[in-house]
Protein backbone atom coordinates (compact mmCIF):
# COMPACT_ATOMS: atom_id res chain seq x y z
CA UNK A 1 0.00 0.00 0.00
CA UNK A 2 2.27 2.78 1.30
CA UNK A 3 5.67 2.92 -0.39
CA UNK A 4 7.66 4.89 2.19
CA UNK A 5 7.57 7.22 5.16
CA UNK A 6 10.08 9.99 5.79
CA UNK A 7 10.39 11.62 9.19
CA UNK A 8 11.60 15.11 10.04
CA UNK A 9 14.79 13.87 11.74
CA UNK A 10 17.22 10.97 11.97
CA UNK A 11 19.14 9.07 14.63
CA UNK A 12 21.28 12.03 15.72
CA UNK A 13 21.11 15.83 15.51
CA UNK A 14 23.50 15.79 12.53
CA UNK A 15 22.11 12.83 10.58
CA UNK A 16 19.80 12.72 7.58
CA UNK A 17 16.05 12.33 8.21
CA UNK A 18 14.97 8.71 8.60
CA UNK A 19 13.23 7.24 5.55
CA UNK A 20 11.93 3.67 5.57
CA UNK A 21 9.52 1.31 3.86
CA UNK A 22 6.73 0.22 6.20
CA UNK A 23 6.06 -3.48 6.57
CA UNK A 24 2.73 -5.13 7.30
CA UNK A 25 3.30 -3.85 10.85
CA UNK A 26 5.36 -0.80 11.79
CA UNK A 27 5.84 -0.30 15.53
CA UNK A 28 6.80 3.08 16.97
CA UNK A 29 8.41 2.83 20.40
CA UNK A 30 10.25 5.15 22.77
CA UNK A 31 9.85 7.09 26.01
CA UNK A 32 6.81 9.13 26.93
CA UNK A 33 6.40 12.39 25.01
CA UNK A 34 8.72 11.26 22.24
CA UNK A 35 6.16 11.84 19.48
CA UNK A 36 4.71 8.35 18.92
CA UNK A 37 1.04 9.26 19.21
CA UNK A 38 1.65 12.55 17.42
CA UNK A 39 3.13 10.63 14.49
CA UNK A 40 -0.04 8.54 14.21
CA UNK A 41 -2.16 11.71 14.19
CA UNK A 42 0.05 13.25 11.52
CA UNK A 43 -0.27 10.08 9.46
CA UNK A 44 -4.02 10.62 9.64
CA UNK A 45 -3.50 14.16 8.41
CA UNK A 46 -1.37 13.02 5.46
CA UNK A 47 -4.09 10.56 4.49
CA UNK A 48 -6.50 13.49 4.35
CA UNK A 49 -9.06 12.06 6.75
CA UNK A 50 -9.02 14.66 9.50
CA UNK A 51 -12.43 16.28 10.03
CA UNK A 52 -12.81 19.42 7.96
CA UNK A 53 -13.25 21.58 11.06
CA UNK A 54 -9.98 20.38 12.61
CA UNK A 55 -7.03 22.70 12.10
CA UNK A 56 -4.09 21.21 10.22
CA UNK A 57 -0.88 22.36 11.80
CA UNK A 58 2.47 21.86 10.15
CA UNK A 59 3.69 18.32 10.95
CA UNK A 60 6.44 18.00 13.54
CA UNK A 61 7.35 14.32 13.12
CA UNK A 62 6.19 13.02 9.74
CA UNK A 63 7.80 14.78 6.78
CA UNK A 64 6.39 12.85 3.86
CA UNK A 65 4.32 9.82 2.94
CA UNK A 66 4.46 8.34 -0.52
CA UNK A 67 2.50 5.74 -2.38
CA UNK A 68 3.58 4.15 -5.63
CA UNK A 69 1.80 5.47 -8.69
CA UNK A 70 -0.42 2.82 -10.34
CA UNK A 71 1.15 3.74 -13.70
CA UNK A 72 -1.87 3.01 -15.91
CA UNK A 73 -5.63 3.26 -15.84
CA UNK A 74 -5.88 -0.55 -15.73
CA UNK A 75 -3.43 -0.75 -12.81
CA UNK A 76 -5.47 1.88 -10.96
CA UNK A 77 -8.64 -0.09 -11.71
CA UNK A 78 -7.00 -3.25 -10.31
CA UNK A 79 -5.85 -1.41 -7.18
CA UNK A 80 -9.34 -0.03 -6.56
CA UNK A 81 -10.93 -3.44 -7.00
CA UNK A 82 -8.41 -4.85 -4.52
CA UNK A 83 -9.84 -2.39 -2.00
CA UNK A 84 -13.25 -4.05 -2.29
CA UNK A 85 -14.60 -2.22 -5.33
CA UNK A 86 -16.36 -3.93 -8.20
CA UNK A 87 -16.81 -3.10 -11.87
CA UNK A 88 -20.14 -2.17 -13.41
CA UNK A 89 -20.42 -0.89 -16.98
CA UNK A 90 -16.87 0.43 -17.00
CA UNK A 91 -17.25 2.18 -13.64
CA UNK A 92 -15.65 1.13 -10.36
CA UNK A 93 -18.15 1.01 -7.51
CA UNK A 94 -16.37 1.37 -4.18
CA UNK A 95 -17.76 -0.15 -0.99
CA UNK A 96 -17.88 3.19 0.86
CA UNK A 97 -18.73 6.78 0.10
CA UNK A 98 -15.75 8.97 -0.72
CA UNK A 99 -15.32 11.91 1.59
CA UNK A 100 -13.23 14.10 -0.70
CA UNK A 101 -15.66 14.58 -3.56
CA UNK A 102 -13.79 17.70 -4.71
CA UNK A 103 -11.24 15.28 -6.18
CA UNK A 104 -13.12 12.04 -6.45
CA UNK A 105 -16.46 12.92 -7.96
CA UNK A 106 -17.61 10.43 -10.53
CA UNK A 107 -17.22 11.67 -14.07
CA UNK A 108 -20.80 10.51 -14.59
CA UNK A 109 -23.45 11.32 -12.00
CA UNK A 110 -23.00 12.40 -8.42
CA UNK A 111 -22.76 9.10 -6.53
CA UNK A 112 -19.64 9.52 -4.35
CA UNK A 113 -19.03 5.76 -4.48
CA UNK A 114 -18.58 5.71 -8.25
CA UNK A 115 -15.36 6.33 -10.17
CA UNK A 116 -15.88 6.56 -13.90
CA UNK A 117 -13.52 5.70 -16.80
CA UNK A 118 -12.67 9.34 -17.48
CA UNK A 119 -11.43 9.84 -13.93
CA UNK A 120 -9.44 6.61 -14.09
CA UNK A 121 -7.66 7.88 -17.18
CA UNK A 122 -7.01 11.27 -15.59
CA UNK A 123 -5.70 9.92 -12.29
CA UNK A 124 -3.69 6.82 -13.21
CA UNK A 125 -0.37 8.68 -12.84
CA UNK A 126 -1.36 10.56 -9.71
CA UNK A 127 -0.37 8.63 -6.56
CA UNK A 128 -2.15 11.19 -4.38
CA UNK A 129 -5.45 10.11 -5.93
CA UNK A 130 -5.06 6.52 -4.78
CA UNK A 131 -3.87 7.82 -1.42
CA UNK A 132 -7.08 9.85 -1.10
CA UNK A 133 -9.13 6.79 -2.00
CA UNK A 134 -7.29 4.77 0.64
CA UNK A 135 -7.92 7.47 3.22
CA UNK A 136 -11.59 7.64 2.30
CA UNK A 137 -12.36 3.95 2.09
CA UNK A 138 -9.74 1.83 3.82
CA UNK A 139 -8.28 3.79 6.71
CA UNK A 140 -9.20 3.50 10.36
CA UNK A 141 -7.60 4.94 13.49
CA UNK A 142 -8.09 2.45 16.30
CA UNK A 143 -7.74 4.36 19.52
CA UNK A 144 -9.20 2.92 22.71
CA UNK A 145 -12.69 4.30 22.09
CA UNK A 146 -12.82 3.08 18.49
CA UNK A 147 -11.69 -0.43 19.44
CA UNK A 148 -14.51 -0.69 21.93
CA UNK A 149 -17.05 0.78 19.50
CA UNK A 150 -16.29 -1.86 16.87
CA UNK A 151 -17.91 -4.53 19.03
CA UNK A 152 -21.01 -2.49 19.84
CA UNK A 153 -24.29 -3.50 18.12
CA UNK A 154 -24.18 -2.52 14.43
CA UNK A 155 -27.17 -1.78 12.21
CA UNK A 156 -28.07 -4.45 9.70
CA UNK A 157 -28.05 -3.37 6.07
CA UNK A 158 -28.97 -4.91 2.74
CA UNK A 159 -26.80 -8.03 2.59
CA UNK A 160 -26.80 -7.96 -1.20
CA UNK A 161 -24.88 -4.68 -1.14
CA UNK A 162 -21.26 -4.03 -0.10
CA UNK A 163 -20.98 -4.19 3.73
CA UNK A 164 -21.39 -0.88 5.52
CA UNK A 165 -19.75 -1.99 8.77
CA UNK A 166 -16.91 -4.26 9.84
CA UNK A 167 -19.32 -6.56 11.67
CA UNK A 168 -21.53 -6.95 8.59
CA UNK A 169 -18.43 -7.65 6.49
CA UNK A 170 -17.60 -10.51 8.84
CA UNK A 171 -21.17 -11.80 8.85
CA UNK A 172 -21.05 -12.41 5.08
CA UNK A 173 -17.51 -13.86 5.14
CA UNK A 174 -17.61 -17.42 6.47
CA UNK A 175 -13.85 -17.90 6.46
CA UNK A 176 -13.04 -14.73 8.39
CA UNK A 177 -15.85 -15.33 10.85
CA UNK A 178 -14.49 -18.81 11.58
CA UNK A 179 -11.05 -17.29 12.07
CA UNK A 180 -12.48 -14.81 14.58
CA UNK A 181 -14.04 -17.66 16.57
CA UNK A 182 -10.75 -19.54 16.60
CA UNK A 183 -8.66 -16.58 17.74
CA UNK A 184 -10.98 -15.51 20.55
CA UNK A 185 -11.26 -19.10 21.75
CA UNK A 186 -7.46 -19.35 21.90
CA UNK A 187 -7.31 -16.08 23.86
CA UNK A 188 -10.29 -16.37 26.24
CA UNK A 189 -11.69 -19.88 25.82
CA UNK A 190 -14.84 -18.37 24.22
CA UNK A 191 -15.99 -18.20 20.59
CA UNK A 192 -16.92 -14.76 19.23
CA UNK A 193 -20.09 -15.10 17.15
CA UNK A 194 -22.26 -12.56 15.31
CA UNK A 195 -25.90 -12.72 16.35
CA UNK A 196 -28.40 -11.63 13.65
CA UNK A 197 -31.53 -12.59 15.60
CA UNK A 198 -32.21 -9.06 16.86
CA UNK A 199 -33.10 -8.33 13.21
CA UNK A 200 -32.25 -4.61 13.21
CA UNK A 201 -28.76 -4.96 14.65
CA UNK A 202 -25.88 -7.41 14.63
CA UNK A 203 -24.64 -8.25 18.15
CA UNK A 204 -21.29 -9.83 18.94
CA UNK A 205 -21.61 -12.53 21.57
CA UNK A 206 -19.22 -15.00 23.15
CA UNK A 207 -20.18 -18.65 23.25
CA UNK A 208 -18.68 -21.56 25.16
CA UNK A 209 -19.03 -23.68 22.03
CA UNK A 210 -18.81 -23.00 18.33
CA UNK A 211 -22.01 -23.14 16.25
CA UNK A 212 -22.59 -26.63 14.92
CA UNK A 213 -23.53 -25.56 11.39
CA UNK A 214 -24.40 -22.57 9.20
CA UNK A 215 -28.09 -22.64 10.11
CA UNK A 216 -27.32 -22.37 13.80
CA UNK A 217 -24.88 -19.56 13.15
CA UNK A 218 -26.48 -17.31 10.51
CA UNK A 219 -30.15 -18.27 10.23
CA UNK A 220 -33.07 -17.00 12.31
CA UNK A 221 -34.69 -20.31 13.27
CA UNK A 222 -35.28 -21.85 16.67
CA UNK A 223 -31.85 -23.46 16.90
CA UNK A 224 -30.11 -20.20 16.13
CA UNK A 225 -32.20 -18.27 18.66
CA UNK A 226 -31.46 -20.83 21.37
CA UNK A 227 -27.75 -20.81 20.53
CA UNK A 228 -27.47 -17.02 20.82
CA UNK A 229 -29.66 -16.92 23.91
CA UNK A 230 -27.05 -19.05 25.71
CA UNK A 231 -24.14 -16.87 24.56
CA UNK A 232 -22.80 -13.87 26.50
CA UNK A 233 -23.23 -10.39 25.06
CA UNK A 234 -19.72 -8.98 24.60
CA UNK A 235 -20.92 -5.73 26.17
CA UNK A 236 -21.05 -7.61 29.47
CA UNK A 237 -17.38 -8.60 29.20
CA UNK A 238 -14.29 -6.69 30.33
CA UNK A 239 -12.77 -3.85 28.31
CA UNK A 240 -9.79 -6.10 27.63
CA UNK A 241 -11.95 -8.72 25.91
CA UNK A 242 -13.81 -6.02 23.98
CA UNK A 243 -10.66 -4.19 22.88
CA UNK A 244 -8.89 -7.40 21.79
CA UNK A 245 -11.94 -8.58 19.84
CA UNK A 246 -12.40 -5.13 18.31
CA UNK A 247 -8.89 -5.21 16.87
CA UNK A 248 -9.50 -8.67 15.41
CA UNK A 249 -12.80 -7.49 13.89
CA UNK A 250 -11.04 -4.56 12.21
CA UNK A 251 -8.38 -6.77 10.61
CA UNK A 252 -10.55 -9.77 9.76
CA UNK A 253 -13.31 -7.71 8.14
CA UNK A 254 -10.94 -6.95 5.24
CA UNK A 255 -12.37 -3.44 5.09
CA UNK A 256 -9.30 -1.63 6.35
CA UNK A 257 -5.92 -1.60 4.61
CA UNK A 258 -4.26 1.24 6.49
CA UNK A 259 -4.70 1.06 10.25
CA UNK A 260 -3.23 3.10 13.08
CA UNK A 261 -3.40 1.74 16.62
CA UNK A 262 -2.43 3.82 19.64
CA UNK A 263 -1.39 1.70 22.63
CA UNK A 264 -2.89 -1.67 21.63
CA UNK A 265 -1.87 -3.01 25.03
CA UNK A 266 -4.47 -0.82 26.76
CA UNK A 267 -6.88 -2.99 28.83
CA UNK A 268 -4.77 -6.12 28.20
CA UNK A 269 -2.61 -8.16 30.58
CA UNK A 270 0.98 -8.91 29.40
CA UNK A 271 0.33 -12.41 28.04
CA UNK A 272 -2.63 -11.19 25.99
CA UNK A 273 -0.60 -8.23 24.71
CA UNK A 274 2.02 -10.66 23.46
CA UNK A 275 -0.59 -12.86 21.78
CA UNK A 276 -2.12 -9.77 20.16
CA UNK A 277 1.26 -8.82 18.72
CA UNK A 278 1.56 -12.26 17.12
CA UNK A 279 -1.95 -12.34 15.66
CA UNK A 280 -2.00 -8.73 14.52
CA UNK A 281 1.26 -9.21 12.59
CA UNK A 282 0.02 -12.41 10.97
CA UNK A 283 -3.29 -10.89 9.92
CA UNK A 284 -1.69 -7.70 8.61
CA UNK A 285 0.68 -9.76 6.44
CA UNK A 286 -2.16 -11.92 5.14
CA UNK A 287 -4.35 -8.89 4.36
CA UNK A 288 -1.45 -7.00 2.73
CA UNK A 289 -2.28 -4.13 5.06
CA UNK A 290 -0.15 -1.39 6.58
CA UNK A 291 -0.62 -1.30 10.35
CA UNK A 292 1.10 1.49 12.29
CA UNK A 293 1.30 1.02 16.05
CA UNK A 294 2.44 3.19 18.95
CA UNK A 295 3.18 1.12 22.05
CA UNK A 296 4.83 1.09 25.48
CA UNK A 297 4.58 -2.69 25.78
CA UNK A 298 7.65 -4.91 25.45
CA UNK A 299 5.27 -7.89 25.47
CA UNK A 300 3.34 -6.62 22.44
CA UNK A 301 6.60 -5.84 20.63
CA UNK A 302 7.98 -9.32 21.28
CA UNK A 303 4.73 -10.83 20.00
CA UNK A 304 5.13 -8.93 16.73
CA UNK A 305 8.72 -10.15 16.38
CA UNK A 306 7.80 -13.74 17.25
CA UNK A 307 5.11 -13.81 14.54
CA UNK A 308 7.83 -14.45 11.96
CA UNK A 309 6.49 -11.74 9.64
CA UNK A 310 8.38 -8.58 8.66
CA UNK A 311 8.09 -5.94 11.37
CA UNK A 312 9.52 -2.45 11.12
CA UNK A 313 10.52 -0.94 14.47
CA UNK A 314 11.25 2.77 14.83
CA UNK A 315 12.40 4.26 18.14
CA UNK A 316 11.58 7.93 18.71
CA UNK A 317 13.06 10.19 21.38
CA UNK A 318 12.64 13.83 22.30
CA UNK A 319 15.01 15.25 24.88
CA UNK A 320 16.34 18.73 25.50
CA UNK A 321 14.49 20.07 22.48
CA UNK A 322 16.10 17.52 20.14
CA UNK A 323 14.18 14.74 18.41
CA UNK A 324 15.67 11.51 17.06
CA UNK A 325 14.36 8.54 15.11
CA UNK A 326 16.22 5.26 14.68
CA UNK A 327 15.22 2.19 12.72
CA UNK A 328 15.75 -1.02 14.71
CA UNK A 329 15.97 -4.29 12.75
CA UNK A 330 13.58 -6.83 14.21
CA UNK A 331 16.12 -9.56 13.39
CA UNK A 332 18.58 -7.91 15.80
CA UNK A 333 16.03 -7.76 18.61
CA UNK A 334 15.01 -11.35 17.97
CA UNK A 335 18.60 -12.60 18.20
CA UNK A 336 19.15 -10.61 21.39
CA UNK A 337 16.18 -12.21 23.07
CA UNK A 338 17.59 -15.68 22.46
CA UNK A 339 20.14 -14.83 25.16
CA UNK A 340 18.74 -16.06 28.51
CA UNK A 341 20.54 -13.29 30.43
CA UNK A 342 18.88 -10.57 28.38
CA UNK A 343 15.46 -12.18 28.72
CA UNK A 344 15.69 -12.49 32.49
CA UNK A 345 16.90 -8.90 32.97
CA UNK A 346 13.96 -7.48 30.97
CA UNK A 347 16.37 -5.62 28.73
CA UNK A 348 13.62 -4.84 26.21
CA UNK A 349 12.02 -2.50 28.73
CA UNK A 350 14.89 -0.09 28.06
CA UNK A 351 13.50 0.48 24.56
CA UNK A 352 10.69 2.48 26.12
CA UNK A 353 12.89 4.63 28.37
CA UNK A 354 15.20 7.56 27.74
CA UNK A 355 18.19 5.42 28.72
CA UNK A 356 19.40 2.57 30.88
CA UNK A 357 21.60 2.22 33.94
CA UNK A 358 23.20 -1.25 34.13
CA UNK A 359 24.56 -2.36 37.50
CA UNK A 360 26.35 -5.46 38.74
CA UNK A 361 23.67 -6.83 41.06
CA UNK A 362 20.10 -6.37 42.22
CA UNK A 363 21.31 -4.57 45.36
CA UNK A 364 23.23 -2.05 43.23
CA UNK A 365 20.21 -1.56 40.99
CA UNK A 366 17.86 -0.90 43.92
CA UNK A 367 20.23 1.55 45.61
CA UNK A 368 21.07 3.65 42.54
CA UNK A 369 17.42 3.69 41.48
CA UNK A 370 16.50 5.12 44.89
CA UNK A 371 19.28 7.72 44.74
CA UNK A 372 18.09 8.81 41.32
CA UNK A 373 14.50 8.97 42.54
CA UNK A 374 15.47 11.29 45.41
CA UNK A 375 17.51 13.51 43.12
CA UNK A 376 14.72 13.83 40.60
CA UNK A 377 11.91 14.35 43.08
CA UNK A 378 13.88 16.82 45.21
CA UNK A 379 15.69 19.11 42.80
CA UNK A 380 15.28 17.60 39.32
CA UNK A 381 18.98 16.77 39.00
CA UNK A 382 18.42 13.04 38.42
CA UNK A 383 17.20 11.43 35.23
CA UNK A 384 13.49 10.99 34.55
CA UNK A 385 12.42 7.89 32.67
CA UNK A 386 15.59 5.82 32.99
CA UNK A 387 15.46 2.04 33.17
CA UNK A 388 17.59 0.48 35.92
CA UNK A 389 18.77 -3.03 35.04
CA UNK A 390 21.22 -5.42 36.65
CA UNK A 391 23.61 -7.95 35.19
CA UNK A 392 24.58 -10.98 37.23
CA UNK A 393 28.05 -9.49 37.82
CA UNK A 394 30.56 -7.11 36.26
CA UNK A 395 31.70 -9.84 33.87
CA UNK A 396 28.29 -9.78 32.12
CA UNK A 397 27.56 -6.04 32.21
CA UNK A 398 28.97 -5.63 28.68
CA UNK A 399 26.42 -8.16 27.39
CA UNK A 400 23.65 -5.70 28.23
CA UNK A 401 25.37 -2.38 27.54
CA UNK A 402 26.63 -3.30 24.08
CA UNK A 403 23.31 -4.34 22.45
CA UNK A 404 21.43 -1.43 24.00
CA UNK A 405 23.89 1.05 22.54
CA UNK A 406 23.77 -0.71 19.20
CA UNK A 407 20.01 -0.07 19.27
CA UNK A 408 20.61 3.62 19.91
CA UNK A 409 19.70 3.49 23.61
CA UNK A 410 22.16 5.33 25.88
CA UNK A 411 23.24 2.78 28.47
CA UNK A 412 25.50 3.46 31.46
CA UNK A 413 27.51 0.76 33.23
CA UNK A 414 28.25 1.12 36.97
CA UNK A 415 30.93 -1.24 38.28
CA UNK A 416 32.90 -1.53 41.49
CA UNK A 417 36.55 -0.52 41.54
CA UNK A 418 37.81 -4.09 41.30
CA UNK A 419 37.13 -3.58 37.60
CA UNK A 420 40.62 -2.03 37.78
CA UNK A 421 41.93 -5.01 39.70
CA UNK A 422 40.64 -7.73 37.41
CA UNK A 423 41.75 -6.45 34.00
CA UNK A 424 41.99 -9.04 31.25
CA UNK A 425 39.24 -9.81 28.74
CA UNK A 426 36.50 -8.38 30.97
CA UNK A 427 38.26 -5.00 30.98
CA UNK A 428 38.50 -4.96 27.17
CA UNK A 429 34.94 -6.17 26.65
CA UNK A 430 33.51 -3.37 28.75
CA UNK A 431 35.65 -0.79 26.97
CA UNK A 432 34.33 -2.10 23.66
CA UNK A 433 30.74 -2.10 24.88
CA UNK A 434 31.12 1.49 26.08
CA UNK A 435 32.37 2.60 22.69
CA UNK A 436 35.85 3.60 23.87
CA UNK A 437 37.97 3.98 20.69
CA UNK A 438 40.21 1.00 20.03
CA UNK A 439 43.31 3.23 19.95
CA UNK A 440 42.68 4.00 23.62
CA UNK A 441 42.50 0.39 24.77
CA UNK A 442 46.24 -0.24 25.07
CA UNK A 443 47.04 3.09 26.84
CA UNK A 444 44.11 2.57 29.20
CA UNK A 445 45.24 -0.99 29.87
CA UNK A 446 48.71 0.24 30.78
CA UNK A 447 47.25 2.95 33.01
CA UNK A 448 45.05 0.35 34.72
CA UNK A 449 48.08 -1.78 35.61
CA UNK A 450 49.95 1.21 37.08
CA UNK A 451 46.91 2.29 39.11
CA UNK A 452 46.36 -1.25 40.39
CA UNK A 453 50.00 -1.49 41.48
CA UNK A 454 49.76 1.86 43.25
CA UNK A 455 46.57 0.81 45.03
CA UNK A 456 48.05 -2.53 46.11
CA UNK A 457 51.15 -0.79 47.42
CA UNK A 458 49.12 1.77 49.37
CA UNK A 459 46.73 -0.75 50.94
CA UNK A 460 46.19 -4.38 49.81
CA UNK A 461 42.57 -4.15 51.01
CA UNK A 462 41.90 -0.94 49.06
CA UNK A 463 38.57 -2.10 47.59
CA UNK A 464 36.88 -2.37 50.99
CA UNK A 465 38.95 0.25 52.80
CA UNK A 466 38.60 3.43 50.80
CA UNK A 467 39.19 2.77 47.12
CA UNK A 468 40.67 5.87 45.50
CA UNK A 469 41.12 7.56 48.88
CA UNK A 470 44.08 5.31 49.77
CA UNK A 471 46.12 7.16 47.14
CA UNK A 472 47.57 10.63 47.39
CA UNK A 473 49.42 13.16 45.26
CA UNK A 474 50.14 12.36 41.61
CA UNK A 475 48.92 8.77 41.97
CA UNK A 476 45.51 9.96 43.17
CA UNK A 477 45.28 12.45 40.28
CA UNK A 478 46.18 9.74 37.77
CA UNK A 479 43.51 7.42 39.13
CA UNK A 480 40.92 10.22 39.17
CA UNK A 481 41.72 11.16 35.57
CA UNK A 482 41.39 7.51 34.59
CA UNK A 483 37.90 7.27 36.12
CA UNK A 484 36.82 10.59 34.61
CA UNK A 485 37.97 9.55 31.16
CA UNK A 486 35.93 6.33 31.31
CA UNK A 487 32.93 8.28 32.64
CA UNK A 488 32.97 10.36 29.45
CA UNK A 489 32.00 7.12 27.67
CA UNK A 490 29.30 6.17 30.17
CA UNK A 491 31.45 3.73 32.14
CA UNK A 492 31.23 4.77 35.79
CA UNK A 493 33.51 3.18 38.41
CA UNK A 494 32.68 3.56 42.11
CA UNK A 495 35.57 5.67 43.48
CA UNK A 496 35.08 4.39 47.03
CA UNK A 497 35.79 0.85 45.90
CA UNK A 498 32.37 -0.80 46.12
CA UNK A 499 28.65 -0.15 46.57
CA UNK A 500 28.88 -0.32 50.36
CA UNK A 501 31.28 2.66 50.43
CA UNK A 502 28.49 5.18 49.83
CA UNK A 503 26.99 7.33 52.60
CA UNK A 504 29.40 6.11 55.31
CA UNK A 505 28.09 8.75 57.75
CA UNK A 506 24.88 6.72 58.10
CA UNK A 507 26.82 3.90 59.77
CA UNK A 508 25.27 0.95 57.90
CA UNK A 509 26.95 -2.42 58.35
CA UNK A 510 29.15 -2.95 55.26
CA UNK A 511 28.31 -6.65 55.07
CA UNK A 512 26.92 -7.39 51.62
CA UNK A 513 24.11 -9.38 53.20
CA UNK A 514 22.77 -6.55 55.34
CA UNK A 515 24.05 -3.24 53.95
CA UNK A 516 21.17 -2.50 51.56
CA UNK A 517 18.52 -3.15 54.19
CA UNK A 518 20.32 -1.04 56.79
CA UNK A 519 21.14 1.85 54.43
CA UNK A 520 17.51 2.13 53.36
CA UNK A 521 16.46 2.07 57.02
CA UNK A 522 18.88 4.90 57.80
CA UNK A 523 17.84 6.91 54.75
CA UNK A 524 14.21 6.88 55.81
CA UNK A 525 11.12 6.52 53.66
CA UNK A 526 8.95 9.55 54.51
CA UNK A 527 10.13 12.82 52.92
CA UNK A 528 8.19 14.82 55.52
CA UNK A 529 10.23 13.43 58.42
CA UNK A 530 13.43 15.14 59.64
CA UNK A 531 15.40 11.88 59.44
CA UNK A 532 14.69 11.48 55.73
CA UNK A 533 18.02 11.75 53.87
CA UNK A 534 17.80 14.29 51.07
CA UNK A 535 20.31 14.89 48.26
CA UNK A 536 23.35 16.99 48.99
CA UNK A 537 26.71 17.67 47.36
CA UNK A 538 29.44 15.04 47.02
CA UNK A 539 29.28 11.31 47.69
CA UNK A 540 26.77 9.25 45.69
CA UNK A 541 24.67 12.33 44.89
CA UNK A 542 27.37 13.87 42.71
CA UNK A 543 28.15 10.45 41.23
CA UNK A 544 24.55 9.96 40.13
CA UNK A 545 24.28 13.52 38.81
CA UNK A 546 27.22 12.69 36.54
CA UNK A 547 25.36 9.65 35.24
CA UNK A 548 22.22 11.73 34.60
CA UNK A 549 24.31 14.32 32.77
CA UNK A 550 25.76 11.68 30.44
CA UNK A 551 22.34 10.19 29.69
CA UNK A 552 20.87 13.62 28.92
CA UNK A 553 23.72 14.78 26.70
CA UNK A 554 22.78 14.39 23.00
CA UNK A 555 26.48 14.59 22.10
CA UNK A 556 27.61 11.97 24.63
CA UNK A 557 30.64 9.89 23.75
CA UNK A 558 30.41 6.17 23.15
CA UNK A 559 27.27 6.10 20.98
CA UNK A 560 27.47 5.28 17.30
CA UNK A 561 26.14 8.03 15.05
Residue 136 clears pLDDT 70, i.e. is over it: no
Of the candidates 497, 490, 437, the residue with the CA atom closest to the CA atom of residue 468: 497
Express the helix, strand and coil content of the chain in percent, nearest 5 each: 45, 15, 40
Q: Which residues of 122-148 are buried (b: 16+ CB within 10 A; e: fewer)?
A: ebbeeeebbbbbbbbbbbbbbbbebbb
Residue 137 clears pLDDT 70, i.e. is over it: no
Which pLDDT tens digit goes with each residue over 5-64? 999 999 887 889 999 999 899 999 999 899 999 999 998 887 765 443 344 578 899 998
Question: What is d(CA 73, CA 4) in angstroms, rounded to the nearest whole number?
Answer: 22
From residue 551, alpha-carbon distances to 2, 208, 311, 409, 412 in Å are 36, 52, 28, 9, 8
Which pLDDT tens digit goes with each residue over 111-133? 556 777 777 777 777 766 766 67
How do beta strands 290-294 and 258-262 pair? parallel
Of the candidates 101, 125, 128, 120, the residue with the CA atom closest to the CA atom of residue 112: 101
Question: What is d(CA 535, CA 378) in angstroms, rounded to the nearest whole number?
Answer: 7
Yes or no: say if 34 and 296 are a contact pair by the CB < 8 Å rule: no
- Within 10 angstroms of residue 493's Cβ, the number of other Cβ atoms is 23
Assigned fold of 4-67+257-332: Rossmann fold (3.40.50)
Annotated domain spans of the chain: 4-67+257-332, 73-125, 145-238, 339-552
Which pLDDT tens digit goes with each residue over 316-374? 999 878 899 999 887 777 777 777 777 666 788 888 999 999 999 999 999 999 999 99
pLDDT of residue 406: 85
pLDDT of residue 111: 59
Res. 76 pLDDT band, cuts 50 70 90 = confident
Which helix (DSSP H) or strand (DSSP E) does residue 480 occupy?
Answer: helix 473-487
- Report if pTM > 0.95: no
Position with higher pLDDT, 449 vs 255: 449
Q: Which residues of 18-57 are buried (b: 16+ CB within 10 A; e: fewer)?
A: beeebbbbbbbbbbeebbbbbbbbbbbbbbbbbeeeeeee
Amino acid sequence: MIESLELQFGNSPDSEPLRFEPGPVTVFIGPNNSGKSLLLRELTQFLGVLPRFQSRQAPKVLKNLSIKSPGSAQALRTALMALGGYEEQGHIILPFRLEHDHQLRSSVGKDPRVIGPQLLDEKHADPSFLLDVLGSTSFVALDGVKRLSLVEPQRTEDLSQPPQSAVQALFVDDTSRERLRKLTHEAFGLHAVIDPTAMRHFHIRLSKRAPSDADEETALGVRAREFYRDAIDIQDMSDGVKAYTGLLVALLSRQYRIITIDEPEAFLHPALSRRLGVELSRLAAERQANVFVSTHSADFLMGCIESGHPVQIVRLTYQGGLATAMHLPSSTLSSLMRNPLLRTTHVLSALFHVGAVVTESEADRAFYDEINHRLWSTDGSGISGASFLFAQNKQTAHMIVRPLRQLGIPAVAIVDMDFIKDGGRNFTQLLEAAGVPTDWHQPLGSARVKIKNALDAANPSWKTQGGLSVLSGAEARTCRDFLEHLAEYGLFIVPGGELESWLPQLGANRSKHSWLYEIFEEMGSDPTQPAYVKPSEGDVWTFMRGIASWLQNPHRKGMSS
